[in-house]
Amino acid sequence: METEKNKKPTQEETFQIDMRIVEELTLKITRKKIIMTRFRFNMEPLQAFYLLAAHYSVEVKRRHGNPFFDENTKKNLWAMASYLTQKDPKFGVMMCGTPGNGKTTLLYTLSAAIDDLINKGHFAFLSRDIRPGLCIVDAKDITEIAKDLDELRRYRTFPLLAIDDLGKEPTEILDFGNVLNPVIDLLEYRYNRQLFTVVTTNLTPKEIREKYGARIADRFNEMLEVIRFNDISYRKLNRNG
């Protein structure tokens, strides 16, 4: 006679889920798995805002420009600060908009702020065996990097990686007759491992979907917080100012 535990479920019973059993098994599995730490700034949003604002000012002056703390710049700095201080943020951020509106400047601002906090021991979970800061690579350069598999593997596994100017690179390249999609492969790898990834691009959501396909576009929606920059050129303002 079959015990209750070993009793074979009927067809109707197979559509019923005992959530107590699911929860018990989930707890057992969770104890064995390491929950990945999401990258974030462990501070209040206003603290992060002022930290970014200070590094933004330094970065613009380094380029012999004048820092513009207009409403657009403050909006972008606050959006980044708010994202970085969420309790459970997405594991990446995308800055998108027209050329010259400050995306790359904010990217280097973020990189400097991260270096600042690393030097203060803020990110204890980052391994010292791998480059701990934010590695920034131009999207066009990834096609060259992809020709060296060992080098590509290094970039894929960086804890913090930024791809600047996504969309400027060719989607496909030929390598000894093989068709490669190095940027897509890189993004897929980082998506699967939930590695912190920053992207800047001039492409619209529609253009991203057309260039990279629905699969990558849908992954972007899941992995990347989007900061949309207003249509303004700070290069022109600095030239005229």
Q: Domain holding 191: CATH number?
A: 3.40.50.300
Which two tokens mark 110? 């973020």
In a domain, 118, yes or no: yes
What are the residues whose beta carbons fall under 8 Å from the beta carbon of 100, sequence distance 6 or more? 232, 233, 234, 235, 236
Q: What confidence score (pLDDT) does residue 144 get?
A: 85
CA proximity to 77, closest of 88, 67, 87, 92: 67
225 within a domain of the structure (yes/no): yes
pLDDT for position 130: 56
The number of domains in the chain is 1
- Backbone φ/ψ region at 49: left (φ over 0), alpha (ψ -120 to 50), beta: alpha
Residues with Cβ within 8 Å of 58's Cβ and at least 6 positions away in sequence, in order, are: 112
The pTM is what?
Answer: 0.80
Q: Answer yes or no: is 53 within a domain.
A: no
Contact 90, 96 (CB under 8 A): no
Positive or negative: CA dihedral 135, 138, 142, 148? negative
**11 within a domain of the structure (yes/no):** no
Would you state the pLDDT for residue 174? Answer: 44
Residue 181 located in a structural domain: yes
| Structural domain contains residue 43 | no
Could you report the average pLDDT of every consecutive run of 10 residues in the chain (241 residues)?
A: 56 69 76 66 96 96 87 95 94 92 94 92 66 88 86 90 90 50 89 94 91 89 93 63 50
Boundaries of domain holding 192: 92-103+114-240
CB atoms within 10 A of CB 106: 25
Is 59 within a domain? no
* pLDDT on residue 177: 44
pLDDT of 21 reads 84
**Assigned token pair, 205:** 């959501």
Q: What is the rounded distance in angstroms from the CA atom of residue 233 to the CA atom of residue 24?
A: 56
| Domain assignment of residue 8, yes or no | no
CA distances to 93, 112, 122, 134, 158 from 128, rounded to whole Å, are 23, 18, 13, 13, 11
Please give the pLDDT value at position 7: 60
Contacts of 69 (CB under 8 A, 6+ apart): 53
